[in-house]
Amino acid sequence: MPVDTSEHDESRAPNGTYWWELTHRPGSNKPFGQTARIAAWIWFHKDVGETFTMNELRDALGPDIVGKSEHLNRRFRTLREVGWVLPSNKDDGSLRPDTYRVQVKGVRYWLDEERKAHKPFRPSARTRRIVIERDGGRCVVCGVAAGEPYPGEPDSKARLTIGHRVPQERLRARGAADNIDNWRTECAQCNETVRDELPDPDQYDEVLAQVRRLNKESKTVLLDWLQRGERTRSNLDRAYDRARILTHNERADLIKYLTGFGQG
């Protein structure tokens, strides 16, 4: 799609520079965000239904715009929160890898008045509480609870939030509605944007097919875990949880003790 070069060219900022080429906001020393530049470039270069690639973005806006894929996903997530629908190969198998389709153009993010006027959906405190309580106060991806350290990171403290099982954009692309059943408890690490590139989580029928292949004893154990909301942990599991957050030297002493115990 050709860019308008007329006197009333909306693709240019007040200073005459194309929006996607700006480095600072008009009349300000504040940097012009990369998300705004990406949105402007797509808006003026691609019609709804057309596709673009990461290489196109890189050629048009510079390698700093694309960077690592998770950086681009983070910027796309911001656009999705303001009405943009940009499915990728993960959402539509007919698309080539690193290719995106413009399905819906949302808020003109480079325009301050439009960006500030739009209030993206955020779950209420009540919704967050319901989801976290429903999920037993643990990340459903890795199982960590709020305030617990991550394995191998004794000084860390997990923070819980809520996220989507299936990304909202993927649901919109399929004409499906979002609801509380699509929200789940996630820790801050598992809530990273990489999830937008992951396939959909397993569906009930897929899980049920595997469960049916379990023997009776295993099904009984699985039922207990599901009813408890967590996998039953033995004294050995709990001992390991405590041992792994010792200091390096303390772990070495414990290894020495256990080595000697085994030889005895």
User: What does pTM read for this prediction?
Assistant: 0.50
Q: How far is CA 251 from CA 150, 163, 246, 247, 258, in A?
A: 17, 36, 6, 6, 10
The span from the first CA to the last CA of the chain, in angstroms, equals: 78
Residue 245: pLDDT band (50, 70, 90) is low
Sorted by where each begins, the domain ranges of the chain are: 19-117, 121-198
Q: Which residues contact 140 (CB under 8 A, 6 or more apart)?
A: 184, 185, 186
Q: Is the pLDDT of residue 132 over 50?
A: yes
Q: Is the pLDDT of residue 20 over 80?
A: yes
pLDDT of residue 174: 64
Segment 249-256 shows an average pLDDT of 86
Average pLDDT, the chain: 81
Q: Which of 96 and 181 is assigned the larger pLDDT?
A: 96
Residue 6: pLDDT band (50, 70, 90) is very low
Q: Does domain 19-117 have CATH number 1.20.120?
A: no
Measure the CA angle with vertex 198, ends 158 and 123; round to 5°. 55
